[in-house]
Amino acid sequence: MRTTLYHGRFRPTGVRRLSAVVTAGVMAVAVALIAPQPAAADAPWLDVSEDRYASFSVPAAYVQEHLGQVSQVVIEGNFGPSSSWAEFGLTRRGDVWSGVLGPLKPGLYTYQVTGDDTKVLKDPTNSTSVASEPLWSTFLVSGDSARWLADVPEGTGGKVATLTYRVRKEQRSALVWTPPGYSARGAKRYPVLFLESGDGEAATDWFDLGRAKQIFDNLSARNAMEPMVVVVSDGDASADDKGRKDLRKAVADNYRVHRDPAHQAIAGVSEGGTQALRAAFTKPGDFAYVGSFSGLATEKVSRESAKAINRNLKLLRLYTGNVTDPAYNATYHLTKALNRAGVRFEFDGVNPDGGANWAAWQENLVDFVPRLFRHVSDHGPSAGHQPLRGEFAPPPAGTTPTPFVTEDGFVTFETTTEYKDAQHVTVWANIAPGGSWLRVPMSQDGDRWRATVGPLDPWFYYYRFIVDRVAVKDVSNPTKVTSEPMWSTFLLPGERARLLTDVPTGRGGEVTSMTYRSTVANQERTALVWTPPGYDPNRAQPYPVLYLQHGAGQSYTDWVEMGRAKQILDHQFLDGDLVPMVVVMGNGNVSSFNRELLENIVPTARARYHISSDPSQQAIAGLSMGGGHAFGVLKAYPGQFAYVAAFSAGFGSTTGVDPAAINNGTKMLRVYVGDQTDFVYPSFMTSLTTMNNVGIRYEFDGVTPGPHGWDVWQKNLIDLAPRLFKR
């Protein structure tokens, strides 16, 4: 039997308070700005649990007071794949807009609160700030992979000071980190790293968003870097030779640093990385160490200039993120050009989970700094990084149905030209941890809007476009969801998603429609029925049967269109994991499900399919509302269905319930729930206590990571189906 583990061990929700991490400052931005003001209450808007779930609770009154009446509130932040900027929608529940996102990977997160796309405010309960973006707040999710970003014990780290200098008649400033033990009066001189910011970015970003101080402090504490002075400048402060020359002179005049090129290094992010490369190629005698983090250099390098570069540079190391990094193609072409010219360089490899953002650049800095001013034996890429395989080029706009999916999990979405005059377009999809939903901003490309997202894990995805706060379907995608006409779907193949893929033609079971007269709804209705491969209506022994129910707002088509029930059952049957059974997926949207099931669905299924009426050969299961229906049948008719399962549903009241009859007549009662992002999680946990108190036996193997959504329920069916009719 092939098994796939999807469940996690249950742990109580321990919550810790958010802690401040960065410095403050003020700078104007060209959006609707709401300066932070004291909160109406001291309760934080953000709590981060020990198991890395971020819970947001934004008071509706505060939002209305500062933004006016809004129809939606989102948390914008670097929560998307590859730490990209994305919108996490909150739900209005009573007096608060709230939502839970996670589990988040360890790292530094940035966010702001946005209403109706353009109205922005800062979380006034979070004391952290970003000097260049006064409406942003940050929080650090701890973990081993983020250990370099943590604060060192007070008094043990280096110091950051401001250096003021002049370029022509203009006064400029830079931030300078000096290592622990540095003394302006000491005899020792230090090497110096000039660290440049990107275009339009401030020097403070290296500390507020890049956590540069914490990185240097941690590297120093572990003796993983040579003691050095680090000078951080604004994106345009040293863009020309004069600016860089004056900055270097000011540093030499004010700090005990070496002046010779052998003890000087330069690196930068984005345009700052481009400037560092330009310095290496045009002034190779100025710096012995050069690093480019997502730089976009386009200079041509001749074989003659390559000789000077190789003679003067001890290290030229290139970094890039994945195909979502604008530097990806530029780096590919640069490596080809350097190889042709004979320039010696090192390439850190493609960071498969990194884009052009501070999460990737933090890792770049951690890799680069320990290589400076010392002998290093390892010149290869970082662990897990990949080679550059070629240029990334999605099909030209309008030439292919969307989404365009690469084999390594990058997905490009594209609208039609219908929304060329829109102001704000996002793609909403189940791409957050566990299958929660995020909205990724799309960029206008001519008359269309586009976004490339990834890497995504192999799985089944569904999405819709949000155009100026209105949901629309991707009409270029022929897939459909009957109960949700704005949704489109796609499958990313891979071993993880094997059970969700189609089996070879002719080898799977069959899904047929079963129409029946509903005496409860007083109408003709339809159910879908899966019969296993080789189904024989004349075999001696009738087939066991599972009645599988959908949730609220859904219908009988959803388990096939969204739940991938056919694919799951086909694979499990062919794998030998499944007892041959018939699965009936009925319409549960009715005033009395118990009557609908027992008076209409069951009798019709027995008349048309060769299924058993023996309670030991009958099962009922459902998700959300359908799980409530399963519990309702169990309580009202204990023993009529020997196998009962509920996905993301609560047991409800025990009034009139006969626990002994349930235990005696039920071979298996198995319950499932998503993690903290599943809104029924609290009531579900209460249900476990309720069943314990009255003595009802049940099985619960822990939470299924994910929200109140199909990612969870597909995994629940995968776990449940092979357990049926084997006791």
Residue 3: pLDDT band by 50, 70, 90 thresholds? very low
Res. 11: pLDDT tops 70: no
Could you give the 3-state DSSP secondary structure of residue 146? helix
Residues 6+ apart with CB under 8 A from 131: 23, 24, 25, 26, 27, 202, 204, 205, 208
Contact 298, 330 (CB under 8 A): yes
What's the rounded mean pLDDT across residues 110-121? 97
Res. 247: pLDDT tops 90: yes
User: Residue 27 has what pLDDT?
Assistant: 28
Q: Tens digits of per-residue pLDDT, 416-444?
A: 999 999 999 999 999 999 999 999 999 99
**% residues pLDDT > 70 (the chain):** 94
Res. 16: pLDDT tops 80: no
Domains of the chain (ranges plus CATH)? 15-142 (2.60.40.10), 149-371 (3.40.50.1820), 404-498 (2.60.40.10), 503-723 (3.40.50.1820)
Task: Calculate the CA 640 to chain-centre distance.
Answer: 43
What's the rounded mean pLDDT across residues 640-651? 98
Task: Calculate the CA 518 to chain-centre distance.
Answer: 43
DSSP labels, 147-160: GGGSPPPTTSS-EE
Quote the tokens at residue 601: 């669905």
Q: Tens digits of per-residue pLDDT, 333-346?
A: 999 999 999 999 99
User: Residue 377 has what pLDDT?
Assistant: 93
User: Residue 13 has what pLDDT?
Assistant: 32
Contact 438, 79 (CB under 8 A): yes
Q: Which residue has the tokens 């934004």?
A: 58
CA distance 87 to 83: 12
Q: By C-alpha distance, which of 480, 446, 448 is closest to 462?
A: 480
Residues 6+ apart with CB under 8 A from 221: 152, 156, 157
CA distance 628 to 649: 6
User: Residue 169 has what pLDDT?
Assistant: 82
CA distance 324 to 84: 9
**Which phi and psi angles does 569 have, rounded to 5°?**
-65, -40
What's the rounded mean pLDDT across residues 704-709? 97
What's the rounded mean pLDDT across residues 131-145? 96
CB burial class (10 A; 0-12, 13-18, 19+) of residue 492?
A: buried
Q: How many CB atoms lie within 10 A of CB 79?
A: 26
Task: Calculate the CA 596 to chain-centre distance.
Answer: 41
What's the rounded mean pLDDT across residues 235-245? 71
Res. 365: pLDDT tops 50: yes
Q: Which residue has the tokens 């250990």?
A: 147
Q: How many CB atoms lie within 10 A of CB 209?
A: 25
What's the rounded mean pLDDT across residues 325-353? 95
Res. 9: pLDDT tops 70: no
Res. 358: pLDDT tops 70: yes
CA distance 350 to 332: 10
Rg for the chain, CA atoms, rounded: 30
Residue 96: pLDDT band by 50, 70, 90 thresholds? very high
User: Residue 168 has what pLDDT?
Assistant: 82
Q: Tens digits of per-residue pLDDT, 457-485?
A: 999 999 999 999 999 999 999 999 999 99
User: Residue 25 has what pLDDT?
Assistant: 31
What's the rounded mean pLDDT across residues 480-504? 97
Quote the tokens at residue 231: 């000078």
User: Residue 238 has what pLDDT?
Assistant: 53
Q: Tens digits of per-residue pLDDT, 216-233?
A: 999 999 999 999 999 999
8-state DSSP, 681: H
